[in-house]
Structure 1
Amino acid sequence: MGPVSPAWIDLDGLANMRDLGGTPLADGGEVQPGRLLRSDNLQTLTPADVEELVERRGVTDIVDLRSDVELQLTGPGPLVEVESLTHHHHSFFRERKVAVEDALVLPWRDADARRAEPKDANHWTSHYLGYLADRPDSVSNALRVVAEAEGAAVVHCAAGKDRTGTVVAMALSVAGASDEVISADYLATGERIERVVERLMTIPAYADNLSGRALAEHTPSPDTMPRLLAAIRDTAGSVEGWLRQNGWTEADVAQLRARLTRP
């Protein structure tokens, strides 16, 4: 079964949210709607957006993959005020213990400097593998939230492409999606990348980093996710194998798969 059209969730305060429900699986099934949502930054949700997510979409858990510095610079978003939600912060960067006013660069700039190479698929694959190497605890814990959430879990970072894309790709792999399908979901952000960048350019914490960079640098490449998944298989056998290497049991893996695939 091939990829399907993205299930976009169009809200006033977002550019890149979609429900992974309907994603086809290799066994002929599909991911259940209302279990896993992916998104860009949730800082500018309107009251109507919040009502849509909480009351109509049944969101119970927010997985925030942004760094400590990002959180301090941008401040709390409106969902923090919703008592029914549980917020989980799992940064994908090795945090430097410095005051915000002394932080001359944001963490992802340090990562770019460590992996200084052209912004092609190899660059992004290396970048994403860096998350697994630098913060396996955060990657594992983000996926555990998805497995244990009572309602819909929203996984987000700033753009909803890189950190979010890594978690979602691993979740879909455990659910039983093919590399082709996982890559198609990752590439769907390309449909909204101009809006994503325009939105982030209005936020000072991101504007300096984005200014002067070509849109093509941010556009997802079709080779990135297949290379990431192949690299995981080369080192751990599978995404499930990577999770087991990081403390998951067979029951834990089965719980994540069941959460995404069973009514």
Structure 2
Amino acid sequence: MPLVNFRDPSALADPAHRWIRPGVLFRSAQPFPAADAATAAHLLDHGIATVVDLRGEAESDPGDWAAAEAAGVDVVAARIEPTNDELARAMRTMTTAADLGVFYLLMAESAPQGLAAAVEAATRPGGVLVHCAAGKDRTGLLTALLLDLLGVPAEEIVADYARTNDAIERIWAGLADRNRAALNEVEAGRLVVPAPLLEAPAGAMETFLDLVRTRHGGAAGFLTACGVGAATLDAFRAKAAARTGAPEAAAC
């Protein structure tokens, strides 16, 4: 079954390839229901050698990527789990796109080991696919950090994030029987999803990027605080930066 919300961010965020090389970074939702031989062939056709799974342990299943692993694709678990009390409060009080952006920062700050493992995996040879459950929130914040690390302008990062809205109905249909319960509380016998989480509002990513810059000086500072070494940051830039990259990429 085709991967939902699958794309190379360079196609929208940098179609002229000024900052990022095409074919090095991909994003998607989790496989619905599980990867099969056709999914594995799709990965290989795009040169994807590594899958980075950002989901929590309760959300994932060993069989999700078994067909891809059998085809030679490595799968790296880099867990980002929205489980602490501060995140729970932020989810309960979430009403605006800006609230969702704050939630993204809190989630990223709560999972330095997961982010560090994901960035390390992104330096591996070949294409790398990053995914969570919907391919929207955790995938969105990690993709944003990696694109910011390469100097991609904020407006282009936001545009790539918002493109998830094109697939939102298929995402929620795919999640309906599985992961939704792991991410939400039950009230009056029904799952409650904060309205901003039902979409990919541009304002959420704008807020997240603003907070990363004001609190951490940008993606490089934030990832360094997460324990990502300078050599790893340099390795990702060497792999993913456009050969004729813009000055911003070199200045990160």
Band the TM-score falls in, shorter-chain normalisation:
0.7 to 0.9
Aligned equivalent of 1:255: 235
Aligned equivalent of 2:102: 126
- For the pair 1:158 / 2:121, whether they are aligned, the reply is no
State the SS of the aligned residue for 2:142: helix
Distance in 2 of aligned mates of 1:111 and 1:38: 24
- For the pair 1:87 / 2:47, whether they are aligned, the reply is no
Distance in 2 of aligned mates of 1:141 and 1:237: 21
- For the pair 1:235 / 2:215, whether they are aligned, the reply is yes
Unmatched runs of 5 consecutive residues or more in structure 1: 1-11, 95-106
Aligned equivalent of 1:4: none
Aligned equivalent of 1:67: 56
After TM superposition, give the deviation of residue 188 of structure 1 in Å. 0.2
Normalization by structure 2: what TM-score? 0.82
Distance in 1 of aligned mates of 2:235 and 2:51: 19
State the SS of the aligned residue for 1:154: strand
- The structure, 1 or 2, with the larger RCO (C-alpha pairs under 8 Å, 6+ apart) is 2
- Which letter maps to 1:206? R
Residues 89-130 of structure 1: per-residue CA shift (max 9 Å, x gap) = 111127xxxxxxxxxxxx499944454213321221122112
Are the aligned partners of 1:58 and 1:152 in contact in 2 as well (CA < 8 Å)? yes
- For the pair 1:224 / 2:204, whether they are aligned, the reply is yes
Distance in 1 of aligned mates of 2:194 and 2:223: 35
State the SS of the aligned residue for 2:58: helix
Instruction: Find the partner of 1:245 among 219, 225, 229.
Output: 225
Aligned equivalent of 2:150: 175
Q: How many residues align?
A: 235
- Which letter maps to 1:35? V
Per the alignment, do residues 150 and 166 of structure 1 end up closer, same or farther by CA in structure 2, a change over 3 Å counting?
same
Are the aligned partners of 2:5 and 2:164 in contact in 1 as well (CA < 8 Å)? yes
- For the pair 1:195 / 2:175, whether they are aligned, the reply is no
Give the 5 Å matches for 1:133-152.
Answer: 133-146=109-122, 148-152=123-127
Normalization by structure 1: what TM-score? 0.78
Aligned equivalent of 2:34: 44
Unmatched runs of 5 consecutive residues or more in structure 2: 185-189, 244-252
Residues 204-261 of structure 1: per-residue CA shift (max 9 Å, x gap) = x426848565876411111111211111111221111112223334433222122112
Are the aligned partners of 1:23 and 1:30 in contact in 2 as well (CA < 8 Å)? no
Distance in 1 of aligned mates of 2:207 and 2:90: 20
